[in-house]
Structure formats: structure tokens, C-alpha cells
Amino acid sequence: MRVAEAEVKQLAESAIAQDARAGARLITLIESGASDLYPALSTLYAAGGHARIVGVTGPPGAGKSTLVDQLIAYYRAANLRVAVLAVDPSSPKSGGAVLGDRFRMSQHYSDAGVFIRSMANRGALGGLARSTPDALVVLDAMGWDIVLLETVGVGQSEIDIMRHAGAVLVLQTSHSGDALQSVKAGLLEIADIFVVNRASEPDAQRTVRALREMVHVDAERRGEAAWPVSVCETEALTGEGIAALAASIERRFTYLTDNPKARAQLRHMQVRVHMEAIAAGIVAARLTDRGGAGAPGSDVVADVAARRRDLYATARALVGGDD
């Protein structure tokens, strides 16, 4: 899919001017795999760098969408502009996003200070969609104060959230075994803040105690300079605990501001992952004849498969390395 250069340039300029429709159109083009978007994305990237990206992940049924809805209300009461990028499972029929509980945020749809967008993960592992990083570039350039990034769910492979957010919230419920699952899934390496939702339910305090004990042990291992992972209790349906959670999120971003080394390490990792994704996308486009004039195309694959060309030299050539 090709889009006129003038149209893409205009969309980028309008998005930077906080035009929500232009931003939505750009995200649609990104999802569709439209070519020739790199100049616009470069312009948008240069205009960004200010949004606070908060990741929200956790097992299905933990209340992620309800919690996000409450965070939107909290931040809007503080007169902050909020964008939500919610990654949903793909429909087995259309391939589009299965909206799930997105209707819980419907009260904010008419608010010009809120932007809500669902994105299908299209079978990608990691809890996010392949187009998520570029969509975040668009939202960042649009000047949203807070970007809430909600994942499909959480499992042993769904760790991409930490590669894109400055603060990662991992929701847990009071159900037996959740705390043990946290260790199994390695979530201590992902979470900046644990959130035990539905904290009034039976066994919730047991989950809270187990998480705090694990966090304490992990803090001793990592040392005093490391971010002190916190455990918050919420009732997302009523909004109880949301103010305290927002305060923990604020402390996380203050920590990054006050610790340039930690901030630089996080940003370095995030940029590296994004660059790797861009490079992989360019190579994939070339291998499917979508890289423009002179693209190697699928005939190269056929030559390598028939061993008429060397696998390693050809791969290096695709990324600009030596033949």
C-alpha cells in the first residue's frame, strides 16, 4: 500500500499540531504496512520525547481496562491530556482487534483531551503488536502528557511492554497461585509497580504479602541504587487506591529523572529494540519485493534455497553489509 508523499507529510504536520484525526490516520497506515512512511516517522520522532508512557499488563480478567479507565479519569481531573493504546487479540475472521472490555472507557470518547485506540496484535508474541513502537512515536509527537499502553495479557513470553514504557504496571488478582506465577513468568524483571486489583477479595492480602516479600528480597539483590519496586492495592471498579497508584507512577518517573544512568540505560535498550524492529521490517520488505526499485526480492530467496548464492553473504548484503 502506497500513500502520496504530500499526504503523509501533511498528516505528520497535523499530528504534531495535535490533530487527533491525523494521528489516527497515521496509526491506521502504520498498521496496514503502508510504505514510504519513514520520512513522516522521522519528523514525528524528532518532535517527540516528552510523553510519559505507562505500560499496563497482567493476566486476562485482572481488570486492566477498568484500571486504565480510572487512570484516565484521574489524570484528566489533573488537566493532563491522555492517550490510550490498547493492544487486543486479533479476530480469527477479520484479523482486526477484538475490543474486549474497551467499552469500559466509552465515557471518555467525547473528551478532546483523551485519545483511545485499539490495535490488533496480529499474532505477535510479546503482548504487543509489531506496529506498536511506531504508533507510540505518533502519540508522543502529538503532545499527550500520558500514554497508557495496555497489553493483550501476560505470560512467559509477553515481556515487550518493558521495552517501550517508562513505568510498567503488572496487575495481579487475589486468586491463589498468582504470586507464584509472577516468579514463574519472571515478572520481577518486568514490573516497576505491582498492582493487586480487587484488593478486598479473599486471599488478596496473602498475595500482597507474597509480592512484597519477593520485592524485598529482589531489592536486596539489586542494591540501593535500583528502583524500589512497589506493591499497590486497588479496587478498579470503585477507584479506591488509584490516587496512591498514580503517586507511585509519579515516583517512578521522578526516579528516572533523578538517576540519569538508569534513564539512559532504559532509553538505550528501548531505542536499540526499536531500531532492530525497523531494520527487520526493511529486510522483510526487500525480501517480498516491497522495498522499491532495485529491491532484491523473492528471487534471491530462491537462489539461496537452490544454493546458487551464499546464505550468509546474501543476508549481510540485505542489511548493507559486505558481500
Residue 295 burial by Cβ neighbours in a 10 Å radius (0-12, 13-18, 19+): middle
pLDDT, tens digit, 9 for 90 and up, residues 208-217: 888 888 888 8
CATH 3.40.50.300 residue ranges of the chain are: 49-258
Residue 50 burial by Cβ neighbours in a 10 Å radius (0-12, 13-18, 19+): exposed
pLDDT at 248: 97
pLDDT, tens digit, 9 for 90 and up, residues 181-226: 555 556 777 899 999 998 888 888 888 888 888 888 888 887 777 8
Rounded CA-CA distance 158/140 in Å is: 23
CA 96, 139, 189, 60 torsion-angle sign: negative
Q: Which residues pair with 195 in a beta bridge?
A: 171, 232
Global pTM reads 0.86
Which residue type is seen at 172? Q
Q: Does domain 49-258 have CATH number 3.40.50.300?
A: yes
Cβ-contact 52, 171 below 8 angstroms: no
How is 251-283 classified by DSSP, letter by letter? HHHHHHHH-HHHHHHHHHHHHHHHHHHHHHHHH
pLDDT at 195: 93
Is the predicted pLDDT of residue 262 greater than 80, yes or no? yes
